[in-house]
Structure 1
Amino acid sequence: MQHVPYVGSGPYCYANSFAMMFGQEAPSTAAIEFATGSPFGMQLIGGSLPFFDPYGWDPEAGFDGALAALGWTSQVSKGDDAEDALSRLRSALKDGPVWVGPVEMGHLRHQPGMTGPIEADHYVVILALDEKRVLMHDPQGYPYASLPIADFMAAWSAKTLSYGRSFTLRSGFSRVAEVSEADAIRASVPAAIHWLSMVTDRPVPPESLGNADAAEALAARIEDGCDRGLRAHLIHFAVRVGARRAADAATCLGRIGFAQSAAIAGEQAQLIGALQYPLVLRRDAEAAEILRRLAPTYDRLLDALQGGD
């Protein structure tokens, strides 16, 4: 089947937030996501929590490399003191919007159903701050959302997240080189190879698995009985973002003439996307079979990229 690029809603919070910070010079979110390295692998963290992103990867692992590949730079500040964080945010806002995250999504009470931490990371763009409220563009689908400072600070403290430091922000975004999207994609291929190779010096929880092993282990776990929490994680987040990442990888690789790699990434996108229906309908044996078909594609994609396609 011919690959058709995806355009639509989905959990692309940091890519969308970066695009807002870049303004009129923003590349596509597909190119931004590709440059972070997120599409290139699968991991089962601690042997239990699945993500369709690379072994040992988290969003912060890809940000600086993505900015460099795209020709941008920014200033990062972090810290554990809430009062200092608010002061830094107020100061940064004098020069324009500020990129903030990770934040705990469960404290963003403008989102329906959010009443407390759910251990879900998120990124937003802060527009203004007064004595009572924060005004933000929340790329989950809430432009110009306002939130009481207490709730925002609870979210920004990120205490319930598995990565990132409290009160992290990026400001001072500056374009340092005019880089075409195609050149940014080419510059990001070595990072894609690195992540697919599963070679990392980043801390990885014990019993974590990657790529084919992760897919096979998840298939076995689902086949034995997919618990409620795992199913919710997969159908509300992991499958949606995983399929989109792979679809964007196929689109980007096709743009630079990597036809074989693009075809494999497109196959991955179709397989990951195909998980949604059986998982929602609790047809878990079907989902397990799809995961087993997905497993060998990671080595195939690595071979194609290492061979220069």
Structure 2
Amino acid sequence: MKHFSYTGSGPYCYSNAFAMMLGETSPSTNVIEFATSSAFGMHLLRGTLPFFDPFCWTPEASFDDTLAALGWTSDLVHGDDPQSALATLKAALVDGPVWIGPVEMGHLRHQPGRMGPIGADHYVVVIEMDETSVLMHDPEGFPYARLPVDLFLKAWQTETLDYGTPFTLRSGFRRIAVRSNTEIIRAALPAARRWLAGAGVSEVPPGTIGNGEAAEALAAMIERGVEEGLRDHLIHFAVRVGARRAADAATCLTQIGEVQAAAILDRQARLIGSLQYPLVTRDDATAAAQLRALAPTYEALLATLPA
């Protein structure tokens, strides 16, 4: 079965934010996302919340490796308190836009329906600020969005997220190596394999499981009955981004001739993507069967993915 690449919208906030910061020389977002290793695994956080990304992976944990594979570096700053964070942001903006995140998406009131914290992480690029508001490109689909400073600070404080250091920003993006897409993909492979294997994880939240075990456990959870919060998380975020990540990773591996690993990722993308309709229509038995078919693909991918 031939792999067919995806182009379109999706929750790729940090990859889109990085692409904005890298400017005209940026690789495509599918290559950036590949370099984050996000496609290589799945996990059930604390045994209850599913993500189609590696065991105990977070975006923050992969960003330095991502930039290194891309041939870039940046200055990373964590603020100590709201006022010092604003002062740091103001100083950084003198040299151009600033990459911000994670932030709590629920406080971004320019997005329709956002009324307070929802535990969802997000990344934006701040362009300007004044005493009352912050102007940003929000890759959720809101260019030049303006947000009051107090709401921006609430979002940036990350109090309601499962990960993240408050008031984190990156500026001073500098290119240190000129790399083709092929070179970026190959440079990112060692980190991808480590994440898929669950290697190097030092802090594991109690009850968290990964890969095939996580897929089987999620299938059993769905068969027992899906709470509305879990269903919403799956159909509005986890399935959408998981299918796209796997599809983009298959595209990248195809570009470098790793056809066997690409075929497995293509199958993962098809299985994850095919969860959307049964979960929306509440055909949970079909969704559970798809997850059980997904479970063995992670070991198969590990056996074929080059280091």
TM tier relative to shorter chain = over 0.9
Residue 79 of structure 1 and its aligned partner are, at CA, apart by 2.2
2:97 maps to 1:88 = no
1: distance between equivalents of 2:263 and 2:48?
Answer: 29
2:304 maps to 1:304 = yes
1: distance between equivalents of 2:202 and 2:272?
Answer: 26
Residue 236 of structure 1 and its aligned partner are, at CA, apart by 0.3
Specify the SS of the correspondent of 2:144: strand
1:264-298 residue CA offsets vs partner (Å, 9 max, x unmatched): 00000000000000000000000000000000000
1: distance between equivalents of 2:262 and 2:202?
Answer: 28
Letter in 1 for 2:293: R
1: distance between equivalents of 2:15 and 2:293?
Answer: 29
1: distance between equivalents of 2:7 and 2:133?
Answer: 33
1: distance between equivalents of 2:203 and 2:79?
Answer: 21
2: distance between equivalents of 1:11 and 1:252?
Answer: 19
2: distance between equivalents of 1:85 and 1:196?
Answer: 35
2: distance between equivalents of 1:224 and 1:162?
Answer: 25
2:180 maps to 1:176 = no
1: distance between equivalents of 2:239 and 2:162?
Answer: 20
2: distance between equivalents of 1:60 and 1:219?
Answer: 28
| Matched positions, count | 307
2: distance between equivalents of 1:200 and 1:116?
Answer: 35
Alignment partner, residue 22 of structure 1: 22
Contact between 1:21 and 1:173, CA under 8 Å: does it hold in 2?
A: yes
1:96-153 residue CA offsets vs partner (Å, 9 max, x unmatched): 0000000000000000000100000000000000111100000000000000101101
Specify the SS of the correspondent of 2:203: coil
The TM-score with structure 1 as length reference comes to: 0.98
Specify the SS of the correspondent of 1:145: strand
The TM-score with structure 2 as length reference comes to: 0.99
Alignment partner, residue 231 of structure 2: 231
Bigger Cα displacement from structure 2, 187-196 vs 69-78: 187-196
Contact between 1:15 and 1:29, CA under 8 Å: does it hold in 2?
A: yes
Letter in 2 for 1:232: D
Q: Which runs of 5+ in 2 are unaligned?
A: none
Specify the SS of the correspondent of 1:118: coil
1:33-66 residue CA offsets vs partner (Å, 9 max, x unmatched): 0001100000001000100000010001110001
Letter in 1 for 2:66: A
Aligned residue runs from structure 1 range 271-282, under 5 A: 271-282=271-282
2: distance between equivalents of 1:264 and 1:165?
Answer: 35
Alignment partner, residue 59 of structure 1: 59
Specify the SS of the correspondent of 1:111: coil
Residue 196 of structure 1 and its aligned partner are, at CA, apart by 1.0
Contact between 1:56 and 1:202, CA under 8 Å: does it hold in 2?
A: no
1: distance between equivalents of 2:30 and 2:46?
Answer: 29
Q: Which runs of 5+ in 1 are unaligned?
A: none
Letter in 2 for 1:304: T
Alignment partner, residue 262 of structure 1: 262
Aligned residue runs from structure 1 range 60-139, under 5 A: 60-139=60-139
2:217 maps to 1:217 = yes
Residue 169 of structure 1 and its aligned partner are, at CA, apart by 0.2
Contact between 2:79 and 2:88, CA under 8 Å: does it hold in 1?
A: no
Identity, % of aligned pairs? 64
Residue 259 of structure 1 and its aligned partner are, at CA, apart by 0.4
Alignment partner, residue 185 of structure 2: 185
Contact between 1:80 and 1:165, CA under 8 Å: does it hold in 2?
A: no
Contact between 1:56 and 1:200, CA under 8 Å: does it hold in 2?
A: no
Residue 204 of structure 1 and its aligned partner are, at CA, apart by 1.2
Residue 305 of structure 1 and its aligned partner are, at CA, apart by 1.0
2: distance between equivalents of 1:71 and 1:46?
Answer: 35
Residue 198 of structure 1 and its aligned partner are, at CA, apart by 1.3
Alignment partner, residue 13 of structure 1: 13
Letter in 2 for 1:215: A
Contact between 1:101 and 1:122, CA under 8 Å: does it hold in 2?
A: yes
Contact between 2:35 and 2:69, CA under 8 Å: does it hold in 1?
A: yes
Residue 80 of structure 1 and its aligned partner are, at CA, apart by 3.0
2: distance between equivalents of 1:277 and 1:50?
Answer: 17
Letter in 1 for 2:72: W
Specify the SS of the correspondent of 2:305: helix
2:142 maps to 1:142 = yes
Alignment partner, residue 157 of structure 2: 157
Specify the SS of the correspondent of 2:126: strand
Bigger Cα displacement from structure 2, 297-306 vs 284-293: 297-306
1: distance between equivalents of 2:303 and 2:207?
Answer: 26
Contact between 1:80 and 1:157, CA under 8 Å: does it hold in 2?
A: no
